[in-house]
Structure 1
Amino acid sequence: MKKIISLLFLCAFFLGFSQQKELSIEDAVLGYYKGLYPKSLNNLSWVENTNTYVFQKENALIFTNAKSNKVTSTLKLEELQKAYSNLKYFPRVQEISATELTFRLSNSFETYNYITNSKTTTVTFDKNGQNAEFNSKAIAVAYTIDNNLYVATATNPKIAVTEINDKNIVSGQAIHRSEFGIVKGTFWSPKGTYLAFYQKDESKITEYPLVDINSYPASLKNIKYPMAGQGSEIAKIGIFNTLNKTTTYLDIDTSDEHYLTNISWTPDEKYLLVAEINREQNHVWYNKYSVENGKKVTTIFEETNDKWTEPENPAVFLPNSTTNFLWLSERDGFMNLYQYTTEGKLVKQVTKFNWVVTGISGFDAKGKNVFITGTGEDARENHTFKVNLKTGKYTKLTKNNGTHYTQINSNGNYLIDNYSNLTTPRNIEVIDTKKEKSTTLLQAENPLKDYNIGTTEFVTLKGNDGTDLYTRIIKPANFDPSKKYPVLIYVYGGPHAQMVTNTWLGGASLWMPAFATLENYIIFTLDNRGSANRGFKFESIIHRNLGNAEIEDQLTGVNYLKSLNYVDASRIAVNGWSYGGFMTTSLMLRNPGIFTTAVAGGPVIDWKYYEVMYGERYMDTPQENPEGYKNAKVSNYIKNLDGKLLLIHGSVDPVVVPQHSMTLLQEAVKQNIQVDFFTYPMHEHNVRGKDRVHLIEKMMNYIVENNK
């Protein structure tokens, strides 16, 4: 009888194994479109000033009371279609109140009363408009056409805020190459009376030539690209008064090319707060300007650092206050919260964590507690905390290990928590912030349960200076520790990025476990010093010497791999894109004999060809730091090439311009060094869409063919 049971078990095991699907590179790259990432809930948000949350189920919006956990109402697509006949799918809801919801429909923003099932307002803007931002208080849309800024209202689709013919002057768009946390160029005031906006004068910036091969013949496509050490943009901040339709500017002299960042309105709309940073990026002045006359009223505080200062978050005012606000700064070594008044008084340092605060989510009804996000003790995670503004005492609201993305309702009673970790594809819960109890909305199934893939594991190593270095190892299915496996090191390594996170797949792209199993590879990633969410000391070690500390840490990872019995130390390849391309080429050429093969995408080869805002923060200018630029210049090491190197570049890359790869190829030709090169015509800094399948297959085939 035991033999029969054993045979049945073995048959079932092998039958189950035989049913496992193979995950192809194409399926992995296009996984979002093929249902291979964990399911979520669309249109999940809080109804303003209520305890009700909504989410989309099929073609309906479900309203649920968080306290009772009962559905209170349902809005079906068919009901919306009675008012909007051209609406084919349930739209993405941008705002939702107790009676109305707002969504975008082509070149209009629609406000719909879901209680009376009727249109409230329609604000249509020019069909050529871009960067559209709707404001429900003003019932207006700010948008841009080419280099000018416009506002649309319910009665006028095109009110000119700026009418400037000079193409060098750009209004209403993100400036400073979207550094300093800048993601947009327009800023509505709290009551919708004013619209603040960025303006930049690019006259001093040289034009960089890109070529459009799709015209007949090919045509020149110039872009403005400020390279390190050269002319930069001149920034301004304008204010449009929606009542009298006039535009004025803050009285700021930026002829020294300093930066204007982190714009905040005071709640009474009387002042605009601006973080001003010198071009050297080692000094911040947080200034208050009068909206009435544009003059500077006071400098609230200053902050300096001998490496860099980099504010990335605007002020957040305390509830029911027009004077007291919270400011995020890493002046004590970690990003923490500080409370200031607009008159310049430091009320207190609210948090004193030895870990990174990543954002401010909201407040409770009485304004006694602030809700923040941060890593907590494990920098690979992200959590939400309730912090008492008076005492600084805090409570961790997200109890499960992992990376949590949360939404607080208006009064701070409840929290929507969307999280994953290495073993949890996605869980979505509603948390009672007082009782700290949760209700589950979604437990996503493992979308890869039918596929034959391996394992993803975390390992913590010690750097040469004793620093913890977090790593991720992906092993193939049917891994056999008695065998020897080749390795692909996937690297990024630069600031503002973190590859190893306690999320589903551990932060890896789906093509990585697919490749690991298809080709029987180990894939290894390490977050070196310089990468994000570890504090200022960890991040700023790279200052003026990009590549040095990063390479040292990556080699710590290589030494660890070589210590593993199942790693074939003679077959290690390296791959990365952008900063990862810089790291890939640097690792290959500055450490000959360690890697057999390298594939570098969009690589920074010479930092003097990179942009002012990012490059000068970390390297200063080429004139100030010639030795640092020389040591980091990848072309200087081409003579060391020992193995196979493939460079890949988008032909119209506006971020890491093609000149980078071209100069390395030029030096290779000069020194009679054979290097491989592939370009993606008319692709920018990364290869998107279905062409990305071609890219990943190109990279992987090259590695398999040459890592021998």
Structure 2
Amino acid sequence: MPLPSHRQAQPWLFLWLLCVSLSPALAQAPSSGAPGRQLTVEEAFLNRDLQPQNLRQLSWIPGSNDELAYLRPGQNGQPDELVRGSATGKDLTAVVSQTAFAEALKAAGAEFRNFPTLQWRDASTLLVTSKNQVYSYDVKAGKASRLFGYDPAADNVEMDPSKTRVAYTKDQNLFISAAGRENEAVTTEANPGIVNGQAAHRSEFGITKGTFWSPSGSKLAFYRMDQTMVSDYPLVDVSTTPASLKNIKYPMAGDKSHEVTVGVYDLSTRKTVFLQTGEPREQYLTNLAWSPDEKAIYLAIVNRAQNAMKLNQYDAATGALVKTLFEESQDKYVEPQHAALFVPGQPEQFIWQSQRDGYNHLYLYNTSGKLLRQLTKGNWIVTDVLGFSNKNRDIVYSSTADSPLERHTYAVSLKGGTPRKVSQGTGTHNTTLSPSGSYVLDNFSSSVTPRTIRTIAVTDGKPQRLLLTADNPLTGYQLGQTKLFPIKAADGSTDLYCRLITPPNFDASKKYPVVVYLYGGPHAQLVTESWLGGSNLWMQMMAQKGYVVFTVDSRGSAHRGLAFEQATFRQLGTVEMADQLEGVKYLKSLPYVDQSRMGIHGWSFGGFMTTTMMTRAPGTFKVGVGGGPVIDWRKYEVMYTERYMDTPQENPEGYRQANLLGYVPKLQGKLLLIHGTVDDVVLWQHSLDYLKTAVDNGVQLDYFVYPGHPHNVGGKDRAHLYKKVTQYFDDNL
């Protein structure tokens, strides 16, 4: 999510003073009361020029002396060029122009018009892929050569750490490709119900992929997912005549789940062994990590009830269980999302992330399973680990220690002690660590700062080099004012953070309609101290049209700790609704809010919450638009639903209360439901069931589908979607 003219005299100091002058509890984005352009839906979603300027393909160069590189736009008709420079200097060196790069690649057999996606293999070699062919470019010689190719039908392509080979999937099988060994089959499974090398467990527990290269690339671990016991679920493709059927495997809450094992393929012997993960087969295998010497694999095993986890060590050569290092349990659920991170130069020590004390923190363990020390502690969470610095004596991480709305970078010694703050300025710092660990590349924004990119020294937090200060891309547009502030939750004590956008030329003596945008579920935070307060341009457009636009992150949403998230356990929708109603109460306290003209909109979990608010708190909102909504949690996937609701057999009352079919007769006002016809996340059946129940009960509602779209409506059709949403509010609110 895209979540920079320079000031020559200490620009970092000016920026820091500007940012710290804003209170994180009541930050305000810039507003414009002067006449200006009005946003359109097309501009809000399709015009990239309205996003803050960025540096394309900005990255550290591995193996360099802390050099970085990015694509610099050409001037006066000149082609773009790749440039590089140090973390601390002022000069940039041209690596290659777009024209010269294209010519070198053409000589090697590849065709490019613009710069493709680049990877640095080392300080003097670039890698690019064209039509499933991998090429290297020698920066010093200015020449390119083909390395190897792989199947044009490849999916889930992952390059190994040495950047000399790739793993990929095709249909249900896994392959590797390297110079002299192109398209070599790792698996030869004939049954399409058994899938190799793809993300398992429907990408829960931090799982984003299905292949895991060893540090040298000599071995490849992979998921083998047996779905033969899971019922088929039909998706209908209406783009063919007659329409065609595609069956997917979709394990629903309370039903039989798939069974997963982990294979280890040795590229030298061409043989595979499987980790002996044991019984029961219905368990979750997560957070896979290789030991630095490639002799062991560390794997978190979560039971189906998701209230207990074991970190196991396996022999990578035989698959045998070596030992369980430690276990964790919670009365509600555990949710490990990060693999063990080994300390460079200390192969017997690793960092483990855990929420065991109620907040995600860092723990230093040895490979005997002994806890050496807890490295971070407090009523805040670690959101990311960047790596190691100070000759691997410190670990660098991002956290919410300053505020749940902000992200800052810190370093702490592996020997323990007080963390040292690295980033400066109130807002959101997205940082990456340099090869030596001496500097971070800081991509910063706040409610008043579109984007600033600079390097910062890890040792003392001093800015070293200003790379970009983005101009406000919305200067020519008339915007309202965006405010961030807390209110109290329904429990009377917990802070909930809100974002309120008022129309341009705001007049407190007038009455304005309101649109509430919400999500409310796990793993999402909508209100942040970042550009435009985390809002999008559609929300700013709605404010231009004369709406007050409001969002509150209710209990159950992300980055506030276990108690905040687990408040919704076994009763999805209930606590979130109570907190959203506190937001409504706040809105009704504002003299300029028209209480009779309030609308609500959300997608996915937000679609569930929109429909919840329209029927479990009938009369609160005049208009609702719910997209891709979960209606009956019994029909949602096993891993997600059972974590937050337990099984339908264990929690029948919770499922009954959250099932929105039971509230259809209570609907008041206008409700539009929207769904993609091939949604494989929230199945189309959810909203169809709701529609059928409405018909059975004589309840009128509106309905719209996007043929051929999955869970999210993307591309140019997204503009169509939000024209539909906007028009519905304009017509009915």
* TM-score (normalised: structure 1): 0.95
Report deviation, 1:506: 1.2
Compute the displacement of 1:368 (Å): 1.1
Is 1:151 paired with 2:176?
yes
Give the structure 1 partner of residue 40 of structure 2.
24
Query: In structure 2, which of residues 61, 67, 70 is the aligned counterpart of residue 47 of structure 1?
Result: 61
Q: Please give the alpha-carbon distance, in whole angstroms, between the structure 1 residues aligned to 2:82 and 2:123.
A: 14
User: What residue in structure 2 maps to residue 551 of structure 1?
Assistant: 577
How many angstroms apart in 1 are the aligned matches of 2:38 and 2:636? Answer: 41
CA contact (8 A) 1:638 1:668 kept: yes
Q: Among 670, 682, 687, which residue is 2:713 paired with?
A: 687
Partner of 1:515: 542
1:276 paired residue number: 301
1:609 corresponds in structure 2 to: 635
Q: Secondary structure at the match of 1:44?
A: strand
CA distance in 2, matches of 1:489, 1:602: 17
The root-mean-square deviation of aligned C-alpha atoms, in Å, is 1.4
- Tell me, yes or no, if structure 1 residue 489 matches structure 2 residue 504: no
Which residue of 215, 224, 228 maps to 1:199?
224
Q: Secondary structure at the match of 1:373?
A: strand
How far residue 376 of structure 1 moved from its aligned partner, in angstroms, is 1.8
Matched residue, 1:70: 91
Q: Shift of the alpha carbon at 1:322?
A: 1.6
Output the CA distance in 2 between the equivalents of 1:272 and 1:138: 21
Partners of 2:679 and 2:711 within 8 A in 1: yes
SS at 1:84's partner residue?
A: helix
* d(CA) in 2 for partners of 1:118, 1:581: 53
SS in 2 for 1:588: helix
Residue 82 of structure 1 corresponds to which residue in structure 2? 103
8 Å contact 2:453–2:467 — kept in the other structure? yes
Residue 579 in 1 paired to residue 605 in 2? yes
- CA displacement at 1:392 relative to structure 2: 2.8
Runs of 4+ with deviation above 6 angstroms: 16-19
Aligned equivalent of 1:412: 437
Counterpart residue type for residue 327 of structure 2:
E
Find 2:687's aligned residue among 639, 650, 661: 661
Secondary structure of the 1:514 match is helix
1:458 correspondence with 2:479 = no
Q: Does the 8 Å contact 1:138/1:191 carry over to 2?
A: no
Map of 1:109 onto structure 2: 134
Give the match for residue 502 of structure 2: 475
Q: What's the offset of the Cα at 1:69?
A: 2.9
- Selected match of 1:171 from 183, 187, 196: 196
Give the AA of the match of 2:663.
Answer: Y
Structure 2 counterpart of 1:403: 428
Code of the residue aligned with 2:451 in structure 1: it is: R
Mapped to 2, the partners of 1:152 and 1:391 lie a distance apart of 44
Amino acid at match of 1:481: A
SS of the residue 1:425 aligns to: coil
Alignment of 1:91-490 (within 5 A): 91-119=116-144, 122-137=147-162, 139-438=164-463, 439-465=465-491, 466-490=493-517
Secondary structure at 1:323 match in 2: strand
Question: 1:18: Cα distance to partner?
Answer: 7.8
Q: Are the counterparts in 2 of residues 544 and 620 from structure 1 also a CA contact under 8 Å? A: yes
The Cα of 1:497 is off from its aligned counterpart by 0.2
CA shift, 1:254, in A, is 4.9
Q: Higher mean Cα deviation, 458-467 or 496-505?
A: 458-467
Q: What fraction of aligned residue pairs are identical, expressed as a percent? A: 46
Cα distance, 1:31 vs structure 2: 2.9
TM-score of the aligned structures, taking structure 2 as reference length: 0.92
SS in 1 for 2:288: strand
CA drift at 1:102: 2.0
Task: Identify the range of structure 1 (630-639 vs 456-465) with the bigger mean alpha-carbon deviation.
Answer: 456-465
Closer, same or farther in 2 for the Cα pair 1:542/1:124, shift >3 Å? same
Q: What is the distance in 2 between the residues matched to 1:495 and 1:111?
A: 42
Aligned twin of 1:628:
654
* Shift in Å, 1:17: 7.8
Equivalent of 1:503 in 513, 516, 530: 530
In the TM superposition, residue 616 of structure 1 has moved relative to its aligned partner by 0.5
Q: How many residues align?
A: 689
Structure 2 SS opposite 1:215: coil
Residue 401 of structure 1 and its aligned partner are, at CA, apart by 1.0
Q: Tell me the CA shift for residue 191 of structure 1.
A: 1.1
Shift of 1:51: 1.7
AA aligned opposite 2:385: I
Higher normalized contact order (CA 8 Å, seq sep 6+, divided by chain length)? 2
Structure 1 counterpart SS, 2:56: coil
Structure 2 residues without counterparts, runs of 5 or longer: 1-31, 74-79
Q: Hey, what's the Cα distance between the residues in 2 that align with 1:143 and 1:121? A: 19
Report if aligned partners of 1:138, 1:193 keep a CA contact under 8 Å in 2: no
SS at match of 1:80: helix
Deviations 1:95-139 (A, max 9, x none): 342221222222022222212223365121111111111125261
Question: Which amino acid in structure 1 is aligned with residue 449 of structure 2?
Answer: T
1:652 aligned residue:
678
The alpha carbon displacement at 1:231 in A equals 1.2
Q: CA deviation at 1:255?
A: 4.6
For residues 80 and 425 of structure 1, the distance between their equivalents in structure 2, rounded to whole angstroms, comes to 32
Q: Determine helix, strand or coil for the equivalent of 1:391.
A: coil
Pick which of 385-394 and 78-87 moved more.
78-87
Whether the aligned pair in 2 keeps the contact of 1:429 and 1:442 (CA below 8 Å) is yes
Q: Could you tell me how far apart the structure 1 residues matched to 2:345 and 2:652 are?
A: 52
Deviates more, 1:467-476 or 1:20-29: 20-29
The answer to whether the Cα contact below 8 Å between 1:455 and 1:475 also exists between their aligned partners in 2 is yes
Q: Provide, for residues 185-243 of structure 1, a one-character-per-residue CA deviation record: whole Å limited to 9, x for no partner.
A: 11110011101111100011111111111111111121111100011110010111111
For 2:33 and 2:218, how far apart are their aligned partners in 1?
A: 64
Distance 2:323 2:34 in 1: 72
Q: Is the 8 A contact 1:65 1:72 kept in 2?
A: no
Change (3 A) 1:663 1:36: same
CA distance in 2, matches of 1:671, 1:440: 63
Are residue 599 (structure 1) and residue 599 (structure 2) matched? no
Report the 3-state secondary structure (helix = DSSP H, G, I; strand = E; otherwise coil) of the residue aligned with 2:725.
helix
How far did residue 584 of structure 1 move? 0.4
